[in-house]
Amino acid sequence: MKSDAGVIGVWIGKAPRPDGSGRLTVPEDGFLAALAERAAELRLPLHLFAAEGFRAETGSLTGYVREGGCWQEREVALPAVVYDRCGPSGASSRRFSELQLERMRRLHPHARLSSWLPGKLAQLEALRRAGSELAALAPPTRLLNGASSVAEAAREWGAVFLKPDGGMQGRGVLSLGPDGSGWLLRGRAGDGRTLAARLPDLEAAAERTERLVRGRRYILQPQLPLCDRQGRPFDVRALVQKDGRGRWRLTGTALRRGRPGGIASNLHGGGEALPARDGLELLLGAEGAARCSAEIDRLALLAAEAAENAFGRLAELGLDFGVEPDGRLWLLELNSRPGRDAFSSFPGGIARTAVERPLLYARLLGARPVPERSGARSSAAPSR
């Protein structure tokens, strides 16, 4: 067993595979390469690893380090801090990975940089328990439970937005609303393909929707007026992160907008990003955009503290805010493994800060490891 103090292990879902040229490729390659480069500048030892690379009988770990602009397979030290970038996975895969991580921890204790957030429904329920100000941000939400629940929601709300409870990148989102004498079902399939179907009545539409999502956990929400004047769906992503002292800081905000007539603003679905204040001015004017931006900044930090109290230690969050034409705010969801694509071209060093802050917080935890805490905490003070 190799072990060194302060080693940061970035936990990825699967071991890298060689591409056509023989180079190892990993998900989020651009971000993880930037993370490794900045870690080297800060003299912080960092490697990637997958759960399958740990061998409990010998206590050894196969990982991946950045050398010469490429990922190289090496035997690496057991980490002092684990940065989870696994992304969504099946329940059995997650159980195996967690078991492997626990075996590693018994040999060499480590701190987890972030807890695993539950699905969107549990996130919004936690917001509602956190006080009236955050509760007011949570849209009406219920669990899809058969075709009858879809029809009931459509009768109550007029039009329905559906999304996977544990999904990301806009995959699997659907909208259902009246269309002339019938109903229109639109969305993105799990593989990213667009779909559209016109159904003659609500019952037929609800049945088609239920068949489409069968076997997956979905939530239902009313379709909120969250489009700009050109009919492009948009939201505001606020990235908040712990700094090197363990305190929540706002790193940046980006307005993400989709294609005209689309139903999702995610960049992976063909959207684009621009600085939030600039984008909000097009909708609300300069004065309204200033007020709205300030509220998003404040509420993002407040929601981060509430999420940490509810779910355990967190290092960063991407919070997605919906904005109605009159400036009314909704907090649509939280992501504890936020991407950085929305900030990659922004001025002012936001992209660099977004990469650096998890490393600085990991350095704090690696120097002064603290026991993991589970469940709600009585204080909103930052985790140290």
**Which tens digits make up the pLDDT trace of 68-94?**
999 999 999 999 999 999 876 666 677
What CATH code is carried by the domain that includes residue 270?
3.30.470.20
The verdict on 152 and 253 lying in the same domain is: no
Say if residue 103 is in the same domain as residue 13. yes
Domain identity same for 253 and 322: yes
Domain annotation covers residue 2: no
Domain span at residue 19? 8-112
Q: How many separate domains does the chain show?
A: 3
pLDDT of residue 300: 98
Do residues 64 and 126 share a domain? no
273, 361: one domain: yes
Q: What is the pLDDT of residue 166?
A: 82
Contact yes or no for 322/219 (Cβ under 8 A):
no
What pTM, to 2 d.p., does this model score? 0.89
Question: Is the same domain home to 62 and 195?
Answer: no
Q: Give dist(CA 77, CA 317) in Å, integer.
A: 28
Based on the domain organization, do 151 and 101 belong to the same domain?
no
Question: Which pLDDT does position 247 carry in this prediction?
Answer: 97
Q: Decide if 377 is inside a domain.
A: no
> For residue 138, which of 321, 309, 335, 304 has the smallest C-alpha distance?
321
Task: State the pLDDT at residue 384.
Answer: 36
374 occurs within a structural domain: no
Q: Indicate whether 20 and 169 sit together in one domain.
A: no
Cα separation, 275 vs 176, in Å, equals: 31
Q: Specify if 380 maps to a domain.
A: no
What gap in Å lies between CA 380 and CA 378, rounded to an integer?
Answer: 7
Q: What integer pLDDT is reported at residue 377 of this predicted model?
A: 42
Q: Tell me whether residue 61 is in a domain.
A: yes
Phi, psi of 74 (to 5 degrees): -145, 160
Domain boundary pick from 180, 197, 222? 222
Encode pLDDT of 290-304 as tens digits.
999 999 999 999 999
**301 shares its domain with 189:** no
Same domain? For 313 and 249 the reply is yes
Give domain status of residue 378, yes or no.
Answer: no
Pair (90, 129) in one structural domain? no
Work out whether the CA dihedral 360, 364, 369, 375 comes out positive or negative: negative
How many CB atoms lie under 10 A from the CB of residue 3?
15
Asked whether residue 84 is domain-assigned, the answer is yes
Residuewise pLDDT in 10s, the chain (384 residues): 554 568 999 999 888 888 888 899 898 999 999 999 999 999 999 999 999 999 999 999 999 999 999 999 999 999 999 999 987 666 667 788 889 999 999 999 999 999 888 999 999 999 999 999 999 999 999 999 999 999 999 999 999 999 999 866 567 899 999 998 899 999 876 666 788 899 999 999 999 999 998 889 999 999 999 988 888 889 999 999 999 999 999 999 999 988 776 777 665 555 788 899 999 998 999 999 999 999 999 999 999 999 999 999 999 999 999 999 999 999 999 999 998 888 887 877 899 999 999 999 999 999 864 455 444 443 333 333
User: Which of 222, 245, 269 marks a domain boundary?
Assistant: 222
- The answer as to whether 359 is a domain residue is yes
- Percentage helix, strand, coil, to 5, in the chain? 35, 30, 40
- Report yes or no: 7 and 80 within 8 Å, Cβ to Cβ: yes
Regarding whether 132 and 170 lie in a shared domain, the answer is: no
Q: Domain ends where: 191, 222, 253?
A: 222
